[in-house]
Amino acid sequence: MFEGRRLLIYSHDSFGLGHLRRCRAIAHDLVDRFKGLSVLILSGSPIIGSFDFKARVDFVRVPGVIKLRNGEYTSLKLHIDIERTLAMRASIIRHTAEIFDPHLFLVDKEPLGLRGEVERTLSILRRRGTRCVLGLRDVMDDPRMLVDEWERKGVFPALQDLYDDIWVYGLPEIFDPLREVPGMRRFADKLAFTGYIRRAVPEHGHVPTGYALPPEPFVLVTTGGGGDGEDLIDWVLRAYEHDPGIPYPALILFGPFMNLDDRMRFQARVNRLEKVRATTFEAQVETLFERAAGVVAMGGYNTFCEILSFGKPSLIMPRTVPRLEQALRAERASGLGLVRCIADDGVRDAARMAEALRDLPHWPKPNPSALDRMFTGLESIASLAAPWLDEHHVVPRRVGAAG
C-alpha cells in the first residue's frame, strides 16, 4: 500500500519545452509545500532526462511523436506506424495511472490528451474518486479556432463529464475564456484563474559552463524549444551583421528542437560576429534571464513568465502559425505595458532590429507591484490542490466513486 498523497501530471508534448517546464515548476513547488507528496509526470518529451528533478518528483516517458506540417502525427524515434505508437502511449498512461493510483490527476493543456489517449484513464480515475483537473495556459488560441478544434475533438462533453476543475494559469486581464470562448460560460463553476507561475533561479543553480557568458550586460535571445524560431534568430543576426556597433552583446539560445542544418548555418554566422555567442540548450535557463539586460523572444507562455518574473524589458516577436496564442498574449501584454512587440513582416529590416537592440536595455521595466499581483499561480495551485494533496486534509470522496 502506498504511503502519502500522490499527484499524477500528464504533459502530452513531444516537441517543445513549454508544457514540460510548466509541469515541472508546479511539481517542484508542490513537493516543497506538501511533505508527504509524491509526484509522477507522464511526458513524451525526448529531453525530459536533461532536467534535474527534486526528491519525490519522477517521470515516466512515453514514446514521442511529432506533428508534421500537414497536421498529421508521426513517431519521433520508432520506425512503427503512428497508430501503434499512440496505442503504446495510451497503454503506458493507463497502467501507470492504475498502479500509481493518484489522489489528483492534472492534465496539461490537452483535455483528452494526444488523439484522445487519456480519455479512458480519466474515466478510470474518476470512478476511483481521483480528483481530475485540467490545467490551461492563459491563452490557448484564437477563440473561434479553439472552439472549432474542441468541437471536432469532443472536448466540451469531456469538460462536463470527466473533469472536476479547470485551472487557468493566468488572469482574465490577459485573456478570459469565460467571456471570450463561446460555450465556456457553462463551466464557470469549475474554472479558477490561478495567476501566472513565477520562475526563480534554482537554490542549487549553476553558472553555465558549456559556454562563456558575455562579461558585460547582454541581450538574451531565446526561441524556447527552437522548432519554429529560425526567423527570429535570422533577424537578430542580420542586425548585428548590419550594425557591429550595437553596444550590448547577444547570447542566443537556439533551442534543442531547431533543425540541425539551420542551427549549423546560424552558428557559422555567429562565429563571424564578435558580439554574439550561442548555445543550443540550457536546462537552468532562469540563470540567464536573471543576468540578462533585456530579452528578445517569441512569447510562449513560459518565456513570458520568465521575462516578467525577473522584471526584464523585452521585445516579443510572436509566431502566428499554427496558433495565434503568442500573438494574442503579446498584444494584451503590450497594452498593459508589460512587453513591447515587433511583427515579422517578412522583410525583417536589419536597421530596425538594430535600433531596437540598442534601446532595449533602457526601456522601462515592468511595474514590480503589478507583477506581484500577476504571479499568484503557485500559491493558488497549492491552495486549490490542498484538499487532495495535504495529508492533514480528509480526502473528499466523489459521490458514487468506488471505495
Kindly list the domain boundaries of the chain, sorted by start residue. 5-198+375-389, 219-371
Q: Which of 21, 19, 57 is nearest to 39 (CA)?
A: 57
- DSSP annotation of 172 reads T
Q: Which of 290, 362, 300, 294 is nearest to 330 (CA)?
A: 300
Please report, to the nearest 10 degrees, the dihedral formed by the alpha carbons of residues 269, 271, 273, 275 taken in order. 130
Sign of CA dihedral 210, 214, 218, 221: negative
- Supply the pLDDT for residue 77: 76
d(CA 307, CA 304): 5
Cell 495565434 maps to which residue? 324
Q: Which of 339, 337, 342 is nearest to 317 (CA)?
A: 342
Say whether 389 sits in a helix, a strand or coil: helix
**Are residues 333 and 339 in contact, defined by beta-carbon separation less than 8 angstroms?**
yes
Those residues with Cβ within 8 angstroms of residue 169's Cβ, 6 or more apart along the chain or in another chain? 22, 135, 136, 137, 138, 194, 195, 196, 197, 301, 377
Please return the burial class of 402, using the count of CB atoms within 10 Å of its CB with bins 0-12, 13-18 and 19+. Answer: exposed
Instruction: Write down the CATH superfamily of domain 5-198+375-389.
Output: Glycogen Phosphorylase B; (3.40.50.2000)
Angle at 320 (CA atoms; ends 284, 158), nearest 5 degrees:
80
- Supply the pLDDT for residue 262: 97
**Domain 219-371 in the same topology as domain 5-198+375-389:** yes
Roughly how many angstroms between the first and final C-alpha of the chain, as a whole number? 15
pLDDT along the chain (403 residues), means of 10: 86 78 96 97 90 95 76 73 91 98 97 96 97 97 96 97 98 97 97 97 67 84 91 98 96 93 97 95 92 95 96 96 93 96 94 98 92 96 97 75 50
> Where does 219-371 sit in CATH, by number?
3.40.50.2000
What is the pTM for the complete model shown? 0.93
